[in-house]
Structures are given as structure tokens and as C-alpha cells.
Amino acid sequence: MVVSTLMDESLKAIVMQRFTDMIEPVTLKVFSSKNHCLFCNEMISLVNSVAELSDKIKVEICDCEENDPKAKKYGIERHPAIAVDGDKDYGIRFYGVPAGKEFTTLIESIMLVSSRKPILTPGAEELLKKITHKVNLKVFVTLECPYCPAMVIRAHKLALANDNITAEMIESSQFAQLAADFDIFGVPNTIINNGYGSVEGLVTEEVLLQQILSALEKTGEKSPFT
């Protein structure tokens, strides 16, 4: 698999224009590894290229394994990874290079964190208040999927809005074994708390939140993937 991380001048101009709307600074924390990390160099190249387009974006690179204290702090279990930070860790993650259609997701997640507050419907905000336990969302995507970016952004919005939620984009072909472990056949597919719930396809934040609450009720039962 070849992942292109090159931006032509026209794309750079579009991204630079988008970044003029940034409000607060954002830090892209890249977790790479020298231990057979197939796409780490591509990830670093892409993130550095993006950061060059705004003085409000900073890059920090941790060339570290899973047992490194920095990786543990962010719950990083695989490489390459990005944590999109602002004033704190919002639980927003990318696993695998967000190229192809997921490049837009990276840009919009940066804008999301820069805003510090997502725009949600009143119904979604009410459901969010009910989430008082830890929730992990793994949104499996492919780089060609037209519906995946919107689903990842919706998950990232929930993570930004509620400190109990972490939301990860996982590129299925770059993490094929993990996708197989969760029986991922179509994307987007969102796995809730490692299998206590799942949502196939693109759904609204409210539907996703309802599925999260349903999954939380199953806590203590045996997950089908454990």
C-alpha cells in the first residue's frame, strides 16, 4: 500500500485559507516508532506539511514505544498516531496516516479543537450530559470512503464536548489485523468500548450517543470481541 502525503500548491492555498479561521492554538502530537513502523515517516511528513500552513499549529514528535510514559499518558497502543491537543488532551486521535479523503478530517479536527467548543444539536447536548463513565470510540475508515470523514468528525465532536469520551480514527488497511479482530467488513464502522456496542454507517450525533448509552448499560457483560 502506498500512502501519498504530498500537497500541491492549490491544496496548500485552500488549507491556508481554512486556517485563517483558527481561534486558539493547536498542538499535533505525533507518536512514531523505529520498530517496524511502516507509515511513521509518511505521518511525520504530512503533519509537518500541515503545520507549516499556520503559526497557530505546533508539532511535537514522540519517537516512543507503547510503554513510554508519554505514550501511556495518551493511551497510545499502536503507531503511527496523532493526538490533537489544545489547552489539554481532548481524547481526539488518528491511527494511521489521514491521507486521501481523511486529509479533510485532519484539517477539520484541527479546526474543531481550535474552536474549543463543538456545535451540537440541543438533543445531542442533553444526551451528552448522561455520559458519566469512560467511553472509547474506534471509527474504522478507509482513505477512499466518502462517508467516513463526517463520521470521524462527529465522534471527535463528542470527545471534545465530554471529557469521558475518547474518539479514534483507525485506518483499516493500515491496521488490517485490528480491523479483522473487530469483524470490520464495511466502513465507516464505529466500535464502542471495544465491542460493547457498534454503529455501522454514517449516523447523527444523537443516534451515536443513544448507542453509546445502550453500550454503557452492558458494562460488566462479556464483550463479543474479548
| Residue 37: predicted pLDDT | 82
**Residue 27 backbone phi and psi in degrees, to 5:** -115, 125
Q: Residues 151, 105: contact at Cβ < 8 Å?
A: no
Break the chain into its structural domains and give their ranges: 9-216
155-187 pLDDT, tens digit per residue, is 999 999 999 999 999 999 999 999 999 999 999
Mean pLDDT of all residues in 58-81? 92
Grid coordinates standing for 1?
A: 500500500
CA distance 157 to 188: 16
Q: 34-55 in b/e burial notation, b at 16+ Cβ within 10 A?
A: eeebebbebbbebbeebbebbe
Q: Confirm whether pTM is higher than 0.75.
A: yes
| Residue 218: predicted pLDDT | 84
Q: Is the pLDDT of residue 193 over 90?
A: yes
Q: How confident is the model at residue 66 (pLDDT cuts 50, 70, 90)?
A: confident
| Residue 160: predicted pLDDT | 98
| Residue 61: predicted pLDDT | 95
Say whether 18 sits in a helix, a strand or coil.
Answer: helix
| Residue 112: predicted pLDDT | 98
CA distance 141 to 128: 24
CA distance 209 to 118: 15
CA distance 160 to 101: 22
Grid coordinates standing for 164?
A: 469521558
Q: Which fold has domain 9-216?
A: Glutaredoxin (3.40.30)
74-117 pLDDT, tens digit per residue, is 999 999 999 999 999 999 999 999 999 999 999 999 999 999 99
7-54 pLDDT, tens digit per residue, is 889 999 999 999 999 999 999 999 998 777 889 999 999 999 999 999
Q: Is the pLDDT of residue 226 over 70?
A: no
| Residue 2: predicted pLDDT | 46
Residue type, 7: M
Average pLDDT, the chain: 93
CA distance 60 to 58: 7
